[in-house]
């Protein structure tokens, strides 16, 4: 290759990466995730509906396998995988997600409770009638531009000629690169009335539009509780809509009351219902409420029905507020009405949405009636030629019989050129020379059947021509007079609304914040119980008293047992020097042999690195002095009041060296704990008086109790009085603690050999 012909471009790598990323981001935004404001559809939705129309899957035709629809769409228009196409098809058929479903699904298309649709080979689908009439009807009238598909073997519409503001009716959700769209669904009739109001008065305010469109209308119903904030949301295109489920009261069995949830927030669709059930159970287990007896999900195809059975004397209003406060029965829907407008993403206000769609409607109708006018004018031209030809039919037949070919006849009919035509007389030739039909009329005359010469046929032709002239007049009037076009657009909108309108499902109101008044807990003594696996619970004192011997004899199941208050707190010290604090109320009240719940679910305890070394009632801890001893023999006394903290998070109970860990935390008893004896893994012992251990703050490391040999660390710790003859087992033999000479703190200790 000749080096002179090379075209070498120097460019910064960062510039290339930036431009490539921008191109990628815009591709995702425009071609996948964000809907077009004109038809309110993402590309995959548009292509799927168009393909279904091309396959002839009208609402009055048999269903077709979804696998066929998906395969055809992917092969012709959307080469991004079958799952994205099928997922889009399924969502357009789910009446609990869309304000108006666009696809009529047959088979298992999932449920509001989060069940997925069956595989595409099992399900079938066809178009809904509203999709045919309001989305695909005028595609053959040159209303929108067609562009080549991905491999330029097919043509696809750039946008569908949608007659309703689908972006508002069906809403939209999508995540692109650096931006996302989230638009709520609205009532079809209200949206159309608001659009008509905008068409009649383009200067109308957002408040004026909201007279017709008061707010979102979710397919799941529910209650919007911040109506006063909606004008600002619709003005900016962004904000948060507060949603509540609908709760009714019913009489239950045996005098009980039932709270029945019949509508849920739109955000609870899917796994949210199961999560709500779980949250209610947690409220009962954590004793946030004692008014709930049972909960059951009795939902069916007829609608949502979640029944909460309450006690006879339950405060149902307070319980409703608890459900709104502590579960997703009250939630927020984040609004960000982002759409592609004029080829770029834009956050749209309510008025700008109607402005964009109204301009689109005018464009659609202008192209439609321009095309129809041209066709009617062509038809009128032909009809005029045929009507004129019936009066000259004998001369025309003579001309045809005297001509050698079709081109000669056409030339004579259009220009009066009689050359190369044999006429019966000069008179006929002279009359033929006055022919002045158009090319289109001449072709129609030659293609005309002789049956058209029958009198009734001629009358029908004249009648048809009059109808054509009326249509031409109508189309010219629509194209020339904006007021006429406006009236026609509103007529079409009224026709769609009249045929497909439905009742509003979501209530719009300004509701007071749900305030839950927690009932005061009756204070009582309970026993904290935790097994060696970390499962904790509380039992009442009567249960403990009946089973005291069994509890004291089973160290595995009842590893930690102590008396506390049900309104108190539990302190948990771990080997990492942390103190975890939990509320006793957060522990379930169980039977003696019940398992309880893992303590780390409440304490944020890290089971991979932490080990429990001391657990007690926090009130008892606060009233005592605690002895801290680490594996490296660092020691200190700490006043328990330092651990009287009002937090549920873990707090640092002591400071440790980088290679050290907490060995023992123990309340210090001045009467019985006069001396302390330390034992190391290497067999060294040291005994000294407790008075040598100073009291320090919880953030201090402490003082050294014993000089350890390299690699050695504490293995045992014992307390004794001055005259205590306590004996321990050491390497299988008995050893009196008094055999270890009393010395001072921070010595090397005595090596004991047995």
Contacts of 100 (CB under 8 A, 6+ apart): 128, 130, 169, 170, 188, 500
Contacts of 37 (CB under 8 A, 6+ apart): 167, 339, 340, 341, 346, 348, 353, 356, 357, 360
- pLDDT by residue (tens digit) across 385-409? 888 888 888 888 888 888 888 898 8
Report H helices in 327-392: 350-391
Whole-angstrom distance, CA of residue 229 vs CA of residue 699: 50
- pLDDT value at residue 26: 63
- pLDDT value at residue 678: 93
How high is the mean pLDDT of the chain?
Answer: 89
Strands 257-263 and 246-251: antiparallel
- pLDDT value at residue 534: 84
Contacts of 544 (CB under 8 A, 6+ apart): 527, 551, 561
Q: In this structure, are residues 136 and 162 in contact, taking their beta carbons and an 8 Å threshold?
A: no
Contacts of 390 (CB under 8 A, 6+ apart): 452, 453, 458
Q: Where do you find CATH 3.90.199.10 in the chain? A: 41-161
Into which CATH architecture does domain 525-751 fall? 6 Propeller (2.120)
Using the 8-state DSSP alphabet, how is residue 147 labeled? E
- pLDDT value at residue 648: 67
- pLDDT value at residue 1: 45
Whole-angstrom distance, CA of residue 351 vs CA of residue 237: 10
Q: Where do you find CATH 1.10.268.10 in the chain? A: 360-480
Q: Average pLDDT per run of 10 along the chain, which is 754 residues long? A: 64 73 62 86 95 95 96 93 94 94 95 92 96 94 92 94 96 81 95 96 95 96 94 95 94 84 93 90 82 89 90 87 92 94 91 96 95 92 86 85 88 87 84 88 83 70 90 93 94 95 94 74 86 88 89 83 89 90 86 84 77 89 92 93 80 89 90 88 91 92 92 90 76 82 90 78
Residue 253 dihedral angles phi and psi, to the nearest 5°: -80, 150
Strands 525-530 and 507-508: unpaired
Q: Map residue 636 onto helix, strand or coil.
A: strand
Q: Map residue 355 onto helix, strand or coil.
A: helix
- pLDDT value at residue 485: 95
The strand pairing partners of 597, in sequence order, are 536
Please choose, from the candidates 229, 219, 303, 304, the residue with its C-alpha nearest in 3D space to the C-alpha of residue 267. Answer: 219
Six-digit token string for 287: 């004793």
Q: Under CATH, domain 360-480 is a member of which superfamily?
A: Topoisomerase, domain 3 (1.10.268.10)
- pLDDT value at residue 92: 96
Q: Where do you find CATH 3.30.1360.40 in the chain? A: 246-328
- pLDDT by residue (tens digit) across 195-210? 999 999 999 999 999 9
Q: In this structure, are residues 496 and 191 in contact, taking their beta carbons and an 8 Å threshold?
A: no
Please choose, from the candidates 637, 643, 650, the residue with its C-alpha nearest in 3D space to the C-alpha of residue 603. Answer: 650
Residues labelled catalytic: 122
Into which CATH architecture does domain 41-161 fall? Alpha-Beta Complex (3.90)
Residue 723 dihedral angles phi and psi, to the nearest 5°: -105, 20
CATH of domain 246-328: 3.30.1360.40
CA-to-CA dists, residue 465 to 384, 456, 461, 634, angstroms: 7, 14, 6, 110
Name the strand (E) or helix (H) holding 688: strand 684-689
Please choose, from the candidates 682, 684, 677, 695, the residue with its C-alpha nearest in 3D space to the C-alpha of residue 742. Answer: 677
Using the 8-state DSSP alphabet, how is residue 31 labeled? I
Whole-angstrom distance, CA of residue 57 vs CA of residue 185: 26
Q: In this structure, are residues 160 and 136 in contact, taking their beta carbons and an 8 Å threshold?
A: yes
CA-to-CA dists, residue 478 to 142, 358, 360, 372, 468, angstroms: 17, 16, 16, 11, 15
Please choose, from the candidates 124, 71, 126, 84, the residue with its C-alpha nearest in 3D space to the C-alpha of residue 101. Answer: 126
Handedness of CA 610, 611, 616, 621 (dihedral sign): negative
Please report where in the chains the tokens 């709760």 appear, as a residue: 247
Contacts of 750 (CB under 8 A, 6+ apart): 684, 685, 686, 740, 741
């Amino acid at each position: 290759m000749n080096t002179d012909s090379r075209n070498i471009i120097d460019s910064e790598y960062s510039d290339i990466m930036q431009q490539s990323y921008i191109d990628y981001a815009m591709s995702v935004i425009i071609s996948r995730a964000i809907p077009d404001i004109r038809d309110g559809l993402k590309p995959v939705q548009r292509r799927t509906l168009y393909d279904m129309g091309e396959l002839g899957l009208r609402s009055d035709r048999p269903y077709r396998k979804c696998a066929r629809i998906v395969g055809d769409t992917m092969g012709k228009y959307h080469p991004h995988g079958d799952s994205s196409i099928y997922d889009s098809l399924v969502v357009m058929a789910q009446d609990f997600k869309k304000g108006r479903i666009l696809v009529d699904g047959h088979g298992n298309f999932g449920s509001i409770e989060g069940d997925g649709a069956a595989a595409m080979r099992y399900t079938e689908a066809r178009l809904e009638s509203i999709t045919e009439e309001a989305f695909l009807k005028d595609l053959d009238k040159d209303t929108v531009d067609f562009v080549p598909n991905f491999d330029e073997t097919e043509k696809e519409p750039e946008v569908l000629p949608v007659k309703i503001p689908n972006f508002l009716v069906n809403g939209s959700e999508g995540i692109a690169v650096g931006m996302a769209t989230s638009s709520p669904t609205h009532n079809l009739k209200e949206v159309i009335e608001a659009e008509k109001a905008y068409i009649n008065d383009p200067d109308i305010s957002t408040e004026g539009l909201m007279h017709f469109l008061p707010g979102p209308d979710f397919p799941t119903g529910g209650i919007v509780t911040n109506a006063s904030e909606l004008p600002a949301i619709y003005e900016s295109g962004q904000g948060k809509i507060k949603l509540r489920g609908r709760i009714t009261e019913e009489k239950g069995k045996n005098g009980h009351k039932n709270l029945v949830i019949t509508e849920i927030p739109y955000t609870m669709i899917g796994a949210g219902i199961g999560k709500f059930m779980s949250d209610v159970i947690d409220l009962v287990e954590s004793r946030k409420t004692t008014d709930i007896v049972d909960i059951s999900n009795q939902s069916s195809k007829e609608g949502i029905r979640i029944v909460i059975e309450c006690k006879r004397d339950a405060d149902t209003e307070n319980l409703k507020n608890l459900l709104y406060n502590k579960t997703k029965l009250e939630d927020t829907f984040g609004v960000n009405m982002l759409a592609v407008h004029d080829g770029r993403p834009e956050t749209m206000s309510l008025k700008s949405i109607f402005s964009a769609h109204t301009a689109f409607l005018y464009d659609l109708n202008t192209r439609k009636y321009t095309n129809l006018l041209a066709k009617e004018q062509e038809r009128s031209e032909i009809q005029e030629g045929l009507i004129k030809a019936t009066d000259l039919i004998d001369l025309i037949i003579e001309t045809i019989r005297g001509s050698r070919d079709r081109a000669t006849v056409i030339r004579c009919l259009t220009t009066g050129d009689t050359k190369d035509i044999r006429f019966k007389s000069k008179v006929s030739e002279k009359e033929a020379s006055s022919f002045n039909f158009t090319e289109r009329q001449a072709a129609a005359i030659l293609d005309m059947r002789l049956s058209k010469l029958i009198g009734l046929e001629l009358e029908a032709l004249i009648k048809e021509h009059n109808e054509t002239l009326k249509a031409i007049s109508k189309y010219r009037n629509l194209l020339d007079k904006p007021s006429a076009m406006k009236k026609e657009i509103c007529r079409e909108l009224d026709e769609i609304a009249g045929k497909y309108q439905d009742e509003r499902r979501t209530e719009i109101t300004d509701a007071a914040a749900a305030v839950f008044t927690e009932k005061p807990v009756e204070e009582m003594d309970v026993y904290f119980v935790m097994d060696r696996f970390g499962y904790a619970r509380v039992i009442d004192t009567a249960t403990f008293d009946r089973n005291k011997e069994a509890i004291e004899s089973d160290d595995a199941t009842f590893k930690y047992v102590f008396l506390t208050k049900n309104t108190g707190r539990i302190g948990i010290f771990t080997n990492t020097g942390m103190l975890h604090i939990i509320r006793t109320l957060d522990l379930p009240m169980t039977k003696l042999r019940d398992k309880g719940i893992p303590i780390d679910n409440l304490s944020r305890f890290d089971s991979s690195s932490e080990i429990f070394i001391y657990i007690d009632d926090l009130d008892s801890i606060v009233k005592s002095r605690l002895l801290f001893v680490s594996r490296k023999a660092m020691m200190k006394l700490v006043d328990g009041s330092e651990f009287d903290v009002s937090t549920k998070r873990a707090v640092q109970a002591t400071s440790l060296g980088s290679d050290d860990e907490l060995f023992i935390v123990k309340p210090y008893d001045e009467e019985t704990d006069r001396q302390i004896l330390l034992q190391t893994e290497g067999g060294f012992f040291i005994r000294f008086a407790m008075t040598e251990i100073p009291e320090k703050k919880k953030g201090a490391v402490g003082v050294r109790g014993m000089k350890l040999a390299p690699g050695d660390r504490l293995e045992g710790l014992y307390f004794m009085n001055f005259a205590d003859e306590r004996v321990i087992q050491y390497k299988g033999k008995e050893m009196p603690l008094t055999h270890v000479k009393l010395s001072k703190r921070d010595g090397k200790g005595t090596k004991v050999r047995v």
